[in-house]
A and B are shown apart, each in its own frame.
Chain A
Amino acid sequence: MNSSIVISQSDGRPMYLQIMEQIKQKVAVGEWAPGEEIPSIRMMSVALRVSVITVKRAYLELEREGVIFTQHGKGSIVAKDPGLGPRLYDQEFEEHMEQVVRIGSLLGLSEQQIAFRLTETAIRLNEAQQNDAVSSDEDLAKETL
């Protein structure tokens, strides 16, 4: 049934994170629909051959993130509005930021310097966009002339 979740022992991440990620994907692609009942912690633990405590932790964190909802004595369901789209982007954003900071400090940049470079990049991208807009306005003006 639900053993379509695969735990990899060569994946460096803790098992609970692997379970969380794969449940989120199931929800994101709609395999597990909002409001749908999902396997109990013990059922999931048997299916995945991992300890109850690991599955419990994955479920707790998923609940904290609003992906699933657990009713006492009734089991868990997928949240009515798991809102995974924006949240997955948010997570990706966070990961990229961490990468920027890590590489920045490898280059010997201070926190302020990293922040400054980031602002600079934002301004540069913004200007480039505006220039594009302006130049297309100019093109338009030329054409009309």
Chain B
Amino acid sequence: MTDLAVQFTGVTKQYKHFTLQNVNLELATGSIMGFVGANGAGKSTTIRILMGLIHQDSGAVKVLGHDMPADQAAAKRDIGFVSEDMRLYGPATVAWHMEFIRSIYPQWDKLYAEDLLRRFDIKKEQKVKGLSHGQRVKAALLLALARRPRLLVLDEPTTGLDPVARREVLAELTAVLADENRTILFSSHNTLDVEQISDQITFIDRGSIIDSANKEIFLDGWRRLRLMLPPNTPLPQLPGVVEVGGSNRLPVLTISHFDPAMVAACQQAGASVQAVDPMTLEEIFVVNVQNRREKAIA
């Protein structure tokens, strides 16, 4: 049996203009999940339910073995949460915040906190209102990391960071996973970050989970096939074709569940396969969302 840090079973939440539908999620302890979706897809709603900040209408949520929202106080002792709209106190210094968190969480790691100050290039004597956006994000992350929580939940941790700060944050997140008892769930629309550091990728669109899979398996499933057809030859019929582009003689197929046997099937149908290209998460994301929107309109 695998040990799950997060488990959603049939979770639903209805709003007037948005519904989170039947969300099922499993995140194994010791891994990083990247949560990907367009703006308004339901990422933040899902994360808030996970944190017990809003309550689901139906379905079960288990976090670190605790039922949410019923058992949220116990769960939160071991969860570090950083979101975009999280406010630190402007007039107070970073040091004040560190002391405040330390007084609440006995597992606060002082040495690690000092180390992070240095690596994130933050002066603890500085008042929060004098910090740049990037420094604020890093300060909030520091406050969560130095508690050494078993689960880190990060809503858009790299949004608005400059390339150097982004790199520092990503390095710190992967370093957390050196300890295999710790787990991270983070949402992002920076697909490069997700592609780089996640073990598992979960795609959400319009309140539904479209896909949740091991990253390597997920990326392996998507391929772009460039074909060359003899004149007046119909396009070979393949399963899992999400998009057909290119021209009549030189079609380009985007496939969501690629299997090497498809190449042979194309050749048998008279087509010659010019290339089988892997796709980046960004390309997959765009094709996936556009395709679903077109279907919804049709």
Residues on A close to B: CB < 8 A? 7, 9, 12-16, 42-43, 45-46, 48-54, 57, 102, 105-106
Q: For chain B, what secondary structure do more than half of its interface residues adopt (helix, strand, loop), or is it mixed? A: mixed
Residues on B close to A: CB < 8 A? 30-32, 167, 170-171, 174-175, 177-178, 180, 192, 195-200, 214-216, 219, 228, 272, 274-275, 277-278
**Residue in contact with B177 in the complex, picked from A9, A14, A52, CB distance below 8 Å:** A52
Contacts of A46 in B (CB 8 A): 174-175, 177-178
30 A-B contacts (beta carbon < 8 Å) = A12-B277, A12-B278, A15-B195, A15-B196, A42-B177, A42-B180, A43-B178, A45-B177, A46-B175, A46-B178, A48-B174, A49-B170, A49-B174, A49-B197, A50-B197, A51-B32, A51-B174, A51-B196, A51-B198, A51-B199, A52-B31, A52-B32, A52-B177, A52-B199, A53-B31, A53-B214, A53-B216, A102-B274, A105-B272, A105-B274
Give me the 8 closest cross-chain CB pairs, A-B, nearest first.
Answer: A53-B199, A105-B272, A51-B199, A49-B174, A46-B178, A57-B216, A46-B175, A51-B197
Contacts of A57 in B (CB 8 A): 216
Number of A-B residue pairs at CB separation under 8 A? 62
Q: How far is the CB of B247 from chain A (nearest CB, A)?
A: 16
CA distance A12 to B279 in the complex (A): 9
**Residue in contact with A14 in the complex, picked from B31, B32, B199, B278, CB distance below 8 Å:** B278
CA distance A12 to B175 in the complex (A): 26
CA distance A49 to B32 in the complex (A): 12
Cross-chain contact B278 with A13 (CB below 8 angstroms): yes
**Residue in contact with A50 in the complex, picked from B30, B31, B196, B272, CB distance below 8 Å:** B196
